[in-house]
Structure formats: structure tokens, C-alpha cells
């Protein structure tokens, strides 16, 4: 069995990553939906500086549209039709 740890905003510094490796993480997962390329390059550099052979998994789905409570309108787009807007 392998232990996979997803890195996020709270786990992007060298000390936290080293602690995760020390407690047995086998693979780090990087989710491209939440970070930018330069942030991933930084995380990969940190991981490789601690353990150059550590496995790294990338979730490549990419950025998504996120919904926020401050959203005032809903935009629905249908194939072959006009855009529809409604108040929330």
C-alpha cells in the first residue's frame, strides 16, 4: 500500500513536506485546479531537495470556474440559443 499526500496551501513549505516524508508519504499529489505553474515548480523543487526520488502525481484537470456567495447573477448558456440571465 502507498500513502499519497495532496499538497495544498498549508503544506507548501519545506519543513512540512519533510515531516510528511519522515512519517511515510510515498507519493505527493499536486492538484492543478488550485495553483499556478510557478507554485508547482516551487513545490517540486522543495520535494526534490529533500528526496530526489520521491514520486509526484499531477492532477491535470486545470482551473475551474468557482462559485462565490457574492455572485449576483446566474448565466446559463445553451447550445444554439441566446444567453439567459437570472437574479439569484
What CA–CA distance (Å, rounded) separates 54 from 12? 15
Q: Which long-range contacts (CB under 8 A, 24 or more apart) does 46-51 make?
A: 46/12, 46/13, 46/14, 46/17, 47/17, 49/14, 50/14, 50/17, 50/18, 50/21, 51/21
Q: What is the structure's pLDDT at 52?
A: 95
What CA–CA distance (Å, rounded) separates 58 from 32? 7
% residues pLDDT > 70 (the chain): 67
Share the mean pLDDT of the chain: 80
Q: What is the pLDDT of residues 18-32, one digit of tens each?
A: 999 999 999 999 887
Q: What is the structure's pLDDT at 75?
A: 65
Q: What is the structure's pLDDT at 76?
A: 67
Amino acid at each position: 500500500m502507498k500513502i499519497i499526500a495532496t499538497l495544498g496551501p498549508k503544506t507548501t513549505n519545506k519543513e512540512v513536506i519533510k515531516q510528511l516524508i519522515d512519517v511515510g508519504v510515498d507519493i505527493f499529489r499536486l492538484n492543478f485546479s488550485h495553483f499556478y505553474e510557478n507554485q508547482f515548480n516551487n513545490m517540486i523543487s522543495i520535494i526534490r531537495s529533500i528526496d530526489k526520488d520521491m514520486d509526484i502525481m499531477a492532477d491535470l484537470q486545470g482551473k475551474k470556474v468557482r462559485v462565490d456567495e457574492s455572485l449576483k447573477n446566474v448565466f446559463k448558456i445553451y447550445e444554439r440559443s441566446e444567453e439567459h440571465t437570472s437574479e439569484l
